[in-house]
Amino acid sequence: MSTDPHTLRLLLAAALVLAYLGMCAAIWHGQRRKARAAQAQARALALAPQGARPLLLAWASQTGQAEALAKHTAELLHTAGEAVHLLPLGSVTVQTLAQATRALFIVSTYGEGDAPDMAAPFVNGPMTGTPALPQLEYAVLALGDASYAHFCGFGRTLDAWLAATGARPLFERIDADQASARASADALAHWQRQLGHVARIEHLPAWQEPAWQRWTLARRVHLNPGSAGQPVYHLELAPAGDNASAGPVPLPEWQAGDLVQIRPPADPDHPRDYSIASLPSDGRVHLLVRRQQRADGTPGMASGWLTSTLAEGEPVDLRLRAHTAFRLGDNATRPLILIGNGTGLAGLRSHLKARAAAGQGENWLIFGERQAAHDWLYRDDIARWQAAGLLARVDTAFSRDGPRKRYVQDVLAAEAGQLRQWLARGAAVYVCGSLQGMATGVDTALRHAVGHETVDALIAQGRYRRDVY
Ligand SMILES: Cc1cc2nc3c(=O)[nH]c(=O)nc-3n(C[C@H](O)[C@H](O)[C@H](O)COP(=O)(O)OP(=O)(O)OC[C@H]3O[C@@H](n4cnc5c(N)ncnc54)[C@H](O)[C@@H]3O)c2cc1C
Ligand SMILES: Cc1cc2nc3c(=O)[nH]c(=O)nc-3n(C[C@H](O)[C@H](O)[C@H](O)COP(=O)(O)O)c2cc1C
């Protein structure tokens, strides 16, 4: 088929006009995109002063509260148009501080006025000197527990160190007593108001504490009858409404290493933490609780209630707490050295369960208690994992069985050669249980066996993690 020259000219002209219109549309779209980007930039600049650098937000946390608050604070500021550089304190260097003009610190306190473990590289690095930081404006939110002698000790130390560098406070340090729900809420509301001034925003949405969930005690077993120590119980909790007639209630998610917070009915303003000893695939939250005995002989408020007053089928107000510092994280493919005493076996059991489920058997458990005959908690689980090749090595230290007292730290000292071999193969160390005596003794034994530098490097690499109390 042929086209006459007139029609051909018309078609060519139409194609040219269309191409021209297409080009105009592309230019218009491009300009509109640029204009939008310029408007967004102008809005951001209006919120952040000209030439302002991102606001540094550094956090140091042991059991996750400071971490959660830092993430929440970052989200608030981000929504308000502030550019935020969120960093774990252990990753902050002198250079990071020297390049910042404004910095917020959210830090908790552990041990006796000490920094959380993950802050060790900062405490042993930048904080050993006094760099000049006159360009820096800062604020500190310190989390602690007012019943400790060194309330918010690390927050105070950090604040004093920053002042010594010549940095200037944006506002006065805020100390939050996290053991009291009311005091903590007041401190956090104060922090939010001050942040509002820093970011020049009238109303930042208030921090919402995670909600309490209603669970029930489904089963309780006394694990150490005849023990010379206080009684220890295995508890199983199920979401409320989870019964044969109503069918199962969906379980919330958690990971090995996580914690629960429990609100005792007689002291609802002071929740207590417990390490979870199970996985969601178990269908229940398992806890390992020792009934505490106070100096006057009375039972501890929460542990007394959980291990005796509370009856099976009765309600428990609980919330799950992500304990990222004690999760497997990047250590999933590494060999694990799991060290604990007493109820510390709870946090190790969830890890052993996760390792068994993953078919990862390169695990070395070092467990300490008083007497094998009474205090060998979860002995059947451990024997089963050993038999299945899912627990390469188990050492126990029963302090009252031999002529000489022997603790988990003594096992580490005696097995220093094995310890070095496991670490050379890339192993990670998980410690769970009492801080006084056990965890401090284990830390000393580790440092003695492999040196301070190696232990500090393990902390920096996330290969030495602790859930200790
Ligand atoms: C991370 C972590 C994990 C834990 N895991 C376990 C576990 O797996 N198993 C286990 O048995 N225990 C565990 N604990 C200990 C547990 O949280 C309780 O401390 C323990 O059960 C004793 O509590 P209690 O209420 O029985 O004792 P209580 O003597 O009644 O109270 C113990 C503590 O609660 C606080 N407290 C009590 N009353 C007040 C008040 N009026 N005002 C302010 N503070 C108050 C104080 O700090 C006090 O020292 C863990 C603790 C932590 C921090
Ligand atoms: C073993 C242990 C030791 C603690 N030592 C102190 C302390 O010396 N001073 C203090 O103010 N708070 C202390 N606390 C309380 C914590 O700082 C507080 O619970 C905080 O909210 C924890 O925040 P995190 O979850 O971010 O680590 C201690 C808590 C535990 C479990």
Checking if the pLDDT of 34 tops 60, the result is no
For ligand 2, whether the C-beta of 440 sits within 6 Å is no
- The string of pLDDT tens digits covering residues 385-437 is 999 999 999 999 999 998 899 999 999 999 999 999 999 999 999 999 999 99
Q: Which residues are CB-neighbours of 356 under 8 A, at least 6 positions away?
A: 385, 388, 390
Find the 273 Cα to ligand 1 centroid distance in Å: 7
Any idea which of 10-24, 131-145, 148-162 has the lowest mean pLDDT?
Answer: 10-24
Tell me what the pLDDT averaged over the chain comes to.
90
Contact (CB, 8 A) for 428 and 337: yes
- Full-prediction pTM beyond 0.85? yes
Confidence of residue 18 (pLDDT cuts 50, 70, 90): low
Nearest to 410 by CA among 401, 112, 325, 230: 401
CATH number for 213-322: choose from 3.90.79.10, 2.40.30.10, 1.10.1740.10, 1.10.10.10: 2.40.30.10
CA separation for the pair 305, 275 (Å, rounded): 17
Tokens at 309, concatenated? 């007053």
Give the residue carrying structure tokens 């690499």: 461
CA separation for the pair 458, 59 (Å, rounded): 19
Contact (CB, 8 A) for 179 and 147: yes
* Domain range list for the chain: 55-198, 213-322, 326-468
Find the 250 Cα to ligand 2 centroid distance in Å: 32
CA separation for the pair 246, 241 (Å, rounded): 7
For ligand 2, whether the C-beta of 436 sits within 6 Å is no
> For a pocket test of ligand 1, which of 272, 289, 345 has the largest count of ligand atoms closer than 8 A to its C-beta?
272
CA separation for the pair 67, 371 (Å, rounded): 38
Confidence of residue 46 (pLDDT cuts 50, 70, 90): very low
In CATH, what is the architecture of 326-468? 3-Layer(aba) Sandwich (3.40)
Contact (CB, 8 A) for 465 and 428: yes
CA separation for the pair 140, 175 (Å, rounded): 8
Q: What is the pLDDT, as a whole number, of residue 31?
A: 56
Phi then psi for residue 152, to 5 deg, are: 55, 35
Among all bound ligands, the one having the nearest atom to the CA of 345 is 1
Checking if the pLDDT of 250 tops 50, the result is yes
Nearest to 227 by CA among 403, 397, 399, 375: 375
Q: Which amino acid, 146?
A: A
- The string of pLDDT tens digits covering residues 364-375 is 999 999 999 999
Atom of ligand 2 nearest to the CA of 179: 19
Q: Which residues are CB-neighbours of 190 under 8 A, at least 6 positions away?
A: 174
Fold agreement (55-198, 213-322) = no
257: left (phi over 0), alpha (psi -120 to 50) or beta: left
Contact (CB, 8 A) for 128 and 161: no
Q: Which residues are CB-neighbours of 81 under 8 A, at least 6 positions away?
A: 43, 44, 46, 47, 48, 199
Find the 145 Cα to ligand 2 centroid distance in Å: 6
Would you identify the CATH topology of the domain 55-198?
A: Rossmann fold (3.40.50)
> For a pocket test of ligand 2, which of 108, 114, 157, 467 has the largest count of ligand atoms closer than 8 A to its C-beta?
108
Q: Which amino acid, 279?
A: L
Q: Which residues are CB-neighbours of 13 under 8 A, at least 6 positions away?
A: none
Residue nearest to atom 40 of ligand 1 (CA): 270
- The string of pLDDT tens digits covering residues 327-363 is 999 999 999 999 999 999 999 999 999 999 999 999 9
